């Protein structure tokens, strides 16, 4: 399951939007100056995964995305977990300079591999 957060502003959202306010506070935690807070703006993706096949090899989450300024260039990020892991969370952040220069995320896909074999994939509506 992929959870997406687009942090567009450092202005604190209203108390009526508790979930969004909590996410915003979490991402901006520790950023004191305007520059530090501005560098936290961008898009955050959290990939939660679960697989019970422990002995089948290490787990790799591969996150591929397209940005508005880089046209069809695919950007790839990945995170690896030990073979003994049966569930986890991989976080992929496109923030700061990477987000300012590359622009917003147009499409993305997240793939789960264990021992080099693809087990599952989730993607955005615009991914082809």
H or E segment and range at residue 108:
strand 105-114
What is the pLDDT averaged over residues 96-100?
90
pLDDT on residue 53: 76
Number of domains in the chain: 1
Q: What are the pLDDT digits (tens) for 99-122? A: 999 999 999 999 999 999 999 999
pLDDT above 70 (res 21): no
Q: Is position 128 within any domain?
A: no
Q: Is position 69 within any domain?
A: yes
pLDDT on residue 20: 62
What CATH code is carried by the domain that includes residue 92? 2.60.40
Q: What are the pLDDT digits (tens) for 58-81? A: 999 999 999 999 878 999 999 999
Q: Is position 84 within any domain?
A: yes
Rounded Cα distance, 84 and 117, in Å: 16
CA-nearest of 75, 99, 79 to 89 is: 79
Q: What are the pLDDT digits (tens) for 32-49? A: 787 877 778 889 999 999
Q: Is position 15 within any domain?
A: yes
Rounded Cα distance, 27 and 23, in Å: 6
Phi and psi (nearest 5°) for 56? -90, 0
Full domain range(s) for residue 55: 2-123
Q: Is position 108 within any domain?
A: yes
């Amino acid at each position: 399951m992929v959870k997406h957060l687009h942090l567009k502003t450092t202005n604190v959202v209203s108390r009526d939007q508790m979930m969004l306010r909590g996410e915003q506070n979490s991402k901006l935690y520790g950023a004191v100056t305007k520059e530090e807070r501005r560098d936290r703006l961008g898009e955050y993706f959290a990939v939660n995964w679960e697989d019970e096949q422990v002995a089948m090899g290490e787990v790799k989450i591969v996150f591929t995305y397209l940005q508005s300024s880089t046209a069809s260039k695919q950007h790839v990020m990945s995170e690896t977990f030990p073979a003994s892991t049966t569930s986890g969370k991989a976080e992929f952040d496109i923030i700061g300079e990477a987000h300012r220069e590359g622009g917003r995320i147009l499409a993305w896909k997240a793939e789960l591999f264990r021992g080099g074999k693809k087990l599952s994939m989730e993607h955005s509506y615009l991914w082809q």
